[in-house]
């Protein structure tokens, strides 16, 4: 267990009703991949994300039409909404007026001091936090020249430059991210900045990739930092359905005992002793229990010899035998079943 006292102390801010930093639970974020102007599709995706446990959702705001869709989207969702804006201060103003709960914009990239001031004033009046999102892939030339390329030092210097702009305007509702596609680079950047500031940090490995590879990359980058007590909110970036990002985020938090959502499924890797189609049983159990958000440990094990013992800490489980299986509760067998009945019996037992 990563104890709260070992987490890096940070300031608390609020994204809508969701606290971030200051010892609050580490929140799970995601970003829609719909066209924000398509209100129906965006609302549908946000509501799917919410059902999967996503607590803060970000949408890209590319133009005024997208900005004016924000208030309509907000009216139909139950989670705080963050507008992701690049360069155009007018879009930031429009998003704030639409009632968004957070902004992701880099103040150094939106032009004159007067423009930044207008955005900051509006955000402050509404107590809307701003995330400074430094990305290794889009560092300013100035920092790259000074620090010899895309380095952790250059990323930290860039973040500090944007932070200073906001602080000079007495704005401190700040979160920061330092994303990179390379895990060692993002680790170094976050560690350095964590030593220098006490604003909450939003963790992520950018452009992590697809499926398993992307999830593993994110788990390594985000997981290492979380294990060191760094990080207040996380976003796993995966190519494809963002609901997978939320599942991966909870798997990371669950693996570190930081937070858990849904049942915990333990399944054995199988070996020569396994005489049932364990992969199929595990997949059915996982799908059947997807909507259950209770702290229950469920085991699906390949054999009765070692299975129940190996999964002793599970609340309920099944262990396979030659064409049959045993349903067990806390390591003790309670019923013998045909292989075909195993998944449904286990699901029924959990629901019971
Ligand atoms: Fe092998 Fe049985 Fe262990 Fe699964 S539970 S890995 S089948 S010994």
Q: What is the dihedral of CA 281, 284, 286, 288, to 10 degrees?
A: -140
Q: Distance of alpha carbon 185 from its chain centroid, rounded?
A: 19
Residue 194 clears pLDDT 90, i.e. is over it? yes
Q: How many CA atoms lie within 13 A of 311 on its CB side?
A: 33
pLDDT for 313:
78
The span from the CA of 53 to the CA of 20, in Å, is 16
pLDDT of residue 322: 84
Binning pLDDT at 50, 70 and 90, where does residue 175 land?
Answer: very high
Structure confidence at residue 309 as a pLDDT band (50, 70, 90):
confident
Q: What is the CA(216)–ligand 1 centre distance, in A? A: 24
Tokens standing for residue 323: 């064409």
| Complete DSSP assignment for 278-291 | HHHHHHHHHHHTTT
pLDDT at 211 over 90: no
What are the tokens at 202? 């939003």
Q: Whose CA is nearest to atom 5 of ligand 1?
A: 307
Is beta strand 316-320 parallel, antiparallel or unpaired with respect to 297-301? parallel
Output the six-digit token pair for 308.
């129940």
Q: Please give the share of the chain, as a percent, with pLDDT higher than 70.
A: 99
Atom of ligand 1 nearest to the CA of 303: 2
User: Per-residue pLDDT for 308 more than 90?
Assistant: no
Residue 54 sits at the vertex; the CA angle it makes with 53 and 60, to the nearest 5 degrees, is: 160
Taking the C-alpha atoms of residue 146 and residue 138, their distance in angstroms, rounded to an integer, is 15
Q: Can you give the pLDDT at residue 65?
A: 97
Q: Taking residues 150-169, what's their average pLDDT? A: 96
Which pLDDT value is given to residue 307? 73
- pLDDT band of residue 1 (cuts 50, 70, 90) is very low
Write out pLDDT tens, residues 121-146. 999 999 999 999 999 988 888 899 99
Q: Strand, coil or helix: what is 128?
A: coil
The alpha-carbon radius of gyration of the chain (Å, integer) is: 23
What average pLDDT does the segment 200-214 reach?
Answer: 90
**What pLDDT, in 10s, does the model give residues 86-103?**
989 999 999 999 999 999
- Looking at per-residue pLDDT, the higher value among 213 and 1 belongs to 213
Q: How far is the CA of 346 from the centre of ligand 1 (A)?
A: 18
For 72, the 3-state DSSP assignment is helix
Atom of ligand 1 nearest to the CA of 310: 5
- Decide if pLDDT at 4 tops 70: no
Ligand 1 atom with the smallest distance to the CA of 274 is 7
CA of 305 to the centre of ligand 1 (A): 8
**Is the confidence at residue 306, as pLDDT, over 80?**
no
Rounded to 10 deg, the angle between the 243-255 and 39-51 helix axes is 20
Residue 304: its pLDDT value, please? 80
pLDDT-based confidence at 260, cuts 50/70/90? confident
User: At CB < 8 A and 24+ separation, what contacts does 65-68 make?
Assistant: 65/37, 66/35, 66/36, 66/37, 66/91, 67/91, 67/94, 67/95, 67/98, 68/94, 68/98
Cα–Cα distance measured from residue 220 to residue 227, given in angstroms and rounded to the nearest whole number: 10
Tell me which of 290 and 225 has the higher pLDDT: 225
Q: Evaluate: CB of 268 within 6 angstroms of ligand 1.
A: yes
Whether 273 is in the pocket of ligand 1, judged by its Cβ within 6 Å, is: yes
Environment class of residue 37 by beta-carbon count within 10 Å: exposed (0-12), middle (13-18) or buried (19+)?
middle
Å from CA of 335 to ligand 1 middle: 19
Higher model confidence: residue 78 or residue 328? 78
- Say yes or no: CB of residue 33 within 6 Å of ligand 1: no
H helical segments located in 126-264 = 141-147, 152-168, 183-196, 211-227, 243-255
Say if residue 282's pLDDT is above 70: yes
* Percent of the chain clearing pLDDT 90 (strictly above): 75
The pLDDT of residue 327 is above 50: yes
Q: What pLDDT, on the 0 to 100 scale, is given for residue 331?
A: 76
Nearest CA to ligand 1 atom 8: 306
CA of 260 to the centre of ligand 1 (A): 26
Residue nearest to atom 6 of ligand 1 (CA): 270
């Amino acid at each position: 267990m990563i104890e709260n006292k070992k987490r890096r102390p940070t300031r608390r801010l609020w994204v809508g009703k969701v606290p971030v930093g200051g010892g609050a639970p580490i929140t799970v974020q995601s970003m829609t991949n719909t066209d924000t102007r398509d209100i129906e599709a965006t609302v549908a995706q946000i509501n799917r994300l919410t059902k999967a446990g996503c607590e803060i959702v970000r949408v890209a705001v590319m133009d005024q039409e997208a900005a004016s869709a924000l208030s309509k989207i907000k009216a139909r969702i139950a989670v705080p909404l963050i507008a992701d804006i690049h360069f155009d201060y007018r879009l930031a103003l429009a998003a704030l007026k639409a009632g968004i709960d957070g902004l992701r914009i880099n103040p150094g990239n939106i032009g004159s001091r007067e423009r930044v001031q207008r955005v900051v004033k509006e955000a402050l009046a509404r107590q809307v936090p701003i995330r400074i999102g430094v990305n290794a892939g889009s560092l300013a030339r100035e920092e790259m020249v000074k620090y010899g390329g895309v380095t952790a030092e250059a990323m930290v210097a860039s973040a500090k430059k944007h932070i200073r702009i906001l602080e000079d305007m007495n704005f401190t509702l700040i979160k920061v991210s330092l994303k990179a596609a390379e895990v060692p680079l993002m680790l170094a950047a976050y560690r350095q900045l964590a030593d220098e500031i006490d604003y909450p940090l939003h963790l992520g490995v950018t452009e992590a990739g697809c499926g398993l590879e992307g999830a593993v990359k994110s788990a390594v980058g985000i997981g290492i930092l979380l294990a060191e007590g760094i990080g207040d909110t996380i976003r796993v970036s995966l190519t494809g359905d963002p609901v997978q990002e939320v599942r991966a985020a909870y798997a990371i938090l669950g693996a570190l005992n930081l937070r858990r959502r849904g049942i915990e499924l333990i399944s054995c890797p199988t070996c020569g002793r396994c005489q049932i189609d364990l992969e199929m049983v595990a997949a059915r159990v996982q799908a059947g229990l997807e909507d259950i958000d209770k702290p229950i440990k469920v085991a699906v094990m390949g054999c009765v010899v070692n299975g129940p013992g190996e999964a002793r800490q599970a609340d309920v489980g099944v262990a396979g035998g030659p064409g049959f299986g045993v349903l067990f509760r806390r390591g003790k067998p309670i019923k013998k079943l045909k292989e075909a009945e195993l998944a449904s019996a286990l699901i029924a037992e959990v629901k019971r």
